[in-house]
Structure 1
């Protein structure tokens, strides 16, 4: 089948078919793609067969290791990415012009920040703006605001993305904590609980290497969530955010806040959304609520 014929056939395809093919490529096969799309495997199989029949061209090589796009498949995936960019860009533009204090607002934050900080603030926000529906996404990794994975991101960072706009809410102090009912000597001789090397893009790695001998590390955790519980359980001492460690009466500080592992808490959005009524209302509310809590977060 020639390129012109392929173009004519692809012109008849729905945007959902482009998105479907892109999802199959991203997940490497039909089973994972079907789960992601909320359909069963047989439906996904028939759908791909139908698209390929319409194009009269195979889009994937079916290998034992997974589905690998053919040149035609790659062209369709690239077209899907362009369409997705255009659609999400249009959606951001429209959303950014909306001034009504109603509708859905997607907010993403790390789990420990949400559970230790956000919930009372979200409660007062919901009471203040009853027509706004919050969709809270708890994630340690950064989501893509250009794709509108979220409208507002709350993120601990030393240097937030230059493509986003927003404000610094507060500093986030960290210190070493242990159980309040134990006596500690030289911290290098104690057992340790530490964040994994991938947490915060490796921010903790130099500190841990300098403070905690490798043979004394009893537990590594791949997120900040769970560190406080692990120290409180007596597995070992470890670095904790002061707003969590100071709030737990079973714990006590074993060091001053260390700037090497400190960061800032940022509230950010996409430039296209900064003037949207829902976004502006949420960001103003959060900034007001955080202000009196700054001493707690800065470890003062």
Structure 2
């Protein structure tokens, strides 16, 4: 080719194909008939192949012309999509978001928020991955992580929601029955050692071995054990304070607090579906900050 293809060349082919002739294409492009004839001839000479067959009923595309038309239609669709986006008329973000989080956060905080998000953005599907291990967002194990961490990876960007407070909890009925001696005599439950990165787990090593009767590798499972009366244990306040069967037995322990983060990889943070999800969930979590930070419950012993 003597010159590269331009968008105007593709528009010309599209107009002639849709009008099946020069006159209709000239009207669509608002130029005269001779200009269409001259530009189409020059384009075919540059390409070295005819794009149309001139028939009695009009202009029919050749195989080469069909390829050019297909490209023109794709580009035309993208141009219109860009125009809609820039003028605020883009359709709602769509697609799938893979969200990694912990079972306790999902059950006690996030599921109602996900419901409201889906009602607002029904074209976005959520794929929720539950686990305590940090998934690799760089490898796209997940698009977004909602996690408790004091050291988010440098490759991730996001928002700090607040500080997750932990306090000591036991069954309310046991506290009432046994009074102030309850903590001194109760059995204990705790998280498993495979979660030893949490200070609350490391501190259980100070307990007498015979009093630590139950371990679980899930915060949600630990809360179930406390509520069942197996023993007392430290729980996030957003779990302990909303379970009517539990009583808070201490003030929040400052050393056990962990930051709650909403994180994504920096390469996809501007994707419309990611941005709208991050904005929505962050706004929904802010009113829950008193619960997350342990300010909604009371120290109930004594």
Regarding TM over 0.5, the answer is yes
Q: Deviations over 1:205-248 (max 9, x none)?
A: 332123x3221001011221211110011100000110110001
TM-superposed CA distance for 1:138, in Å, is: 1.0
Q: Does 1:130 align with 2:122?
A: yes
2:288 pairs with 1:293:
yes
Structure 1 residue 241 corresponds to structure 2 residue 236? yes
Q: Is the 1:207–1:260 Cα contact (8 Å) retained in structure 2?
A: no
Which residue is 1:167 aligned to?
159
Tell me the residue number matched to 1:142.
134
Query: Alignment partner of 2:202: what SS?
Result: helix
Q: Which position in structure 1 is the counterpart of 2:72?
A: none
Picking from 156, 159, 168, the partner of 2:148 is 156
Distance 1:259 1:206 in 2: 15
Query: How far 1:191 moved relative to its partner?
Result: 0.3
State the 4+ residue runs in structure 1 displaced beyond 4 angstroms. none
Give the one of 239, 242, 245 matched to 1:250. 245
TM-score by length of 2: 0.64
Distance 2:266 2:100 in 1: 17
C-alpha contact 1:273 1:279 (8 A) present in aligned 2: yes
- 3-state SS of paired residue (1:273): coil
| Secondary structure of the structure 1 residue equivalent to 2:189 | strand
The answer (yes or no) to whether the contact 1:175–1:239 under 8 Å persists in 2 is yes
Measured against aligned partners, the alpha-carbon deviations of 1:162-199 in whole angstroms (never above 9, x if no partner) come to 12110111110000000101235163432000001121
TM-score normalised per structure 1: 0.64
Once the two structures are TM-superposed, the CA of residue 203 in structure 1 deviates from its matched residue by 2.7
The SS at the match of 1:293 is: helix
Quick one: which of 246, 251, 261 aligns to 1:266?
A: 261
2:193 maps to: 197
1:1-300 paired onto structure 2 within 5 Å: 101-182=93-174, 183=178, 184-185=180-181, 187-199=183-195, 201-210=197-206, 212-300=207-295
Contact persistence 1:207–1:261 (CA under 8 A): no
Distance 1:235 1:152 in 2: 35
**Secondary structure of the corresponding residue to residue 181 of structure 2:** coil
Give the aligned length: 202
Q: Which has the larger radius of gyration?
A: 2
Structure 1 residue 118: Cα displacement: 0.6
Separation in structure 2 between the aligned mates of residue 186 and residue 245 of structure 1, nearest angstrom: 17
SS at match of 1:126: helix
* 8 A Cα contact 2:170 2:233, kept in partner: yes
The match for 2:67 is none
Name the Cα RMSD after superposition. Answer: 1.7
User: Structure 1 regions of 5+ residues with no counterpart?
Assistant: 1-98
CA drift of 1:200 comes to 5.7
